Amino acid sequence: MLGKFFLLFIIYSFVGWIVEIVYNGFVHKKFVNRGFLIGPYCPIYGFGALLVTVFLTQFRDNFIVAFVMSIFLFSILEYSTSYLMEKIFKARWWDYSEYKFNINGRICLETMIPFGLLGCFVIYVTDPLLKSLFSLMNPLFIKILAIILLVIFIADLIVSLKIINSFKKTAITFLKRDNTEEITKKVKAILLKKSVWTKRLMQAFPKVKAVISNINIDFIKTKLELKKTKRELKETRKELHETEKKLEKQNKKLKK
């Protein structure tokens, strides 16, 4: 059973990768290897499709319910994935702030509708088809294939997480900057000079934004301004101290 679920995860992740490639090819007129992993798969699609398979196939008799529940499920998954990746890696990998009807830039109506249709496609088309296909396959073959793919996936995950962690470290280097866009550009420039896989990651998420240690930019600006004020105050005190010394010398001369 676990072997079948993992194969489903890999299949849907690969299909999701294809969907992203086609969509970005249509929008940007060029090939973009989407996904933060090295291999040809987008795990968020795999997890989403698995959740649909486990929880939503029971609504197959009611298309409207299946559609709405798919939107709800995928939206929660996309929002939580964006939030967790930002908190863990100090970077926002996609941002829908420029789109209408978005929630904190993490999800938007423009992606919710396609995800609802995608969920229905899984419920009515691919789920019955893949279940029929697996029923024809030898259980031992399914188990061996799942183990091989799992080993490859884990190795890919380890390498990819190491690459993503380099983004986190590079972003923290610019903690004292006071401009998010400037930080993002400099971080990208540094990472693009690194390994081919790091470069692929930056190309896959061209709108990635650095998030500075979970502190918003207004706080950083305030902190910098406070430091500047303290420095100016220190200089003013120094000038006052020197002025007091001069006045003391003048007073002594007058007394004489």
What string of H, E and C letters represents the secondary structure of 55-101? Answer: HCHHHCCCHHHHHHHHHHHHHHHHHHHHHHHHHHHCEECCCCCCCCC
* Burial category of 187 from C-beta neighbours within 10 Å (exposed 0-12, middle 13-18, buried 19 and up): buried
Per-residue pLDDT at 230: 80
Residue 136 domain boundaries: 2-155
- DSSP code of 125? I
Domain membership flag for residue 54: yes
At residue 210, the 3 state secondary structure works out as strand
* Number of structural domains found in the chain: 1
Counting every residue written for the chain, the total comes to: 256
Would 125 be classed as within a structural domain?
yes
Tell me the per-residue pLDDT of 24-56, one tens digit each, with 9 for 90 and over.
777 767 766 666 677 788 888 999 999 999 999
Q: What is the pLDDT of residue 179?
A: 46
Half-sphere exposure (Cβ direction) of 256: Cα atoms closer than 13 Å: 6
Beta strands in the chain (DSSP E): 91-92, 102-103, 107-108, 209-210
In a domain, 220, yes or no: no
pLDDT at position 215? 44
Tell me if 57 is assigned to some domain: yes
Contact (Cβ atoms closer than 8 angstroms) between residue 51 and residue 122: no
Question: Looking at residue 116, what is its pLDDT?
Answer: 93
Q: Along the chain (256 residues), what's the average pLDDT of each consecutive run of 10 residues? A: 89 89 75 71 90 93 95 94 81 80 90 91 94 92 93 86 66 49 54 59 58 49 70 82 76 64
Q: Does residue 91 sit within a domain?
A: yes
Could you tell me the pTM of the whole model? 0.66
Return the pLDDT at 180: 45
Q: Is residue 161 part of a domain?
A: no
Question: What gap in Å lies between CA 3 and CA 5, rounded to an integer?
Answer: 5
> How many C-beta neighbours within 10 Å does residue 245 have?
10
**Could you tell me if residue 95 is inside a domain?**
yes
> In the prediction, which pLDDT does 213 show?
44
180 inside domain: no
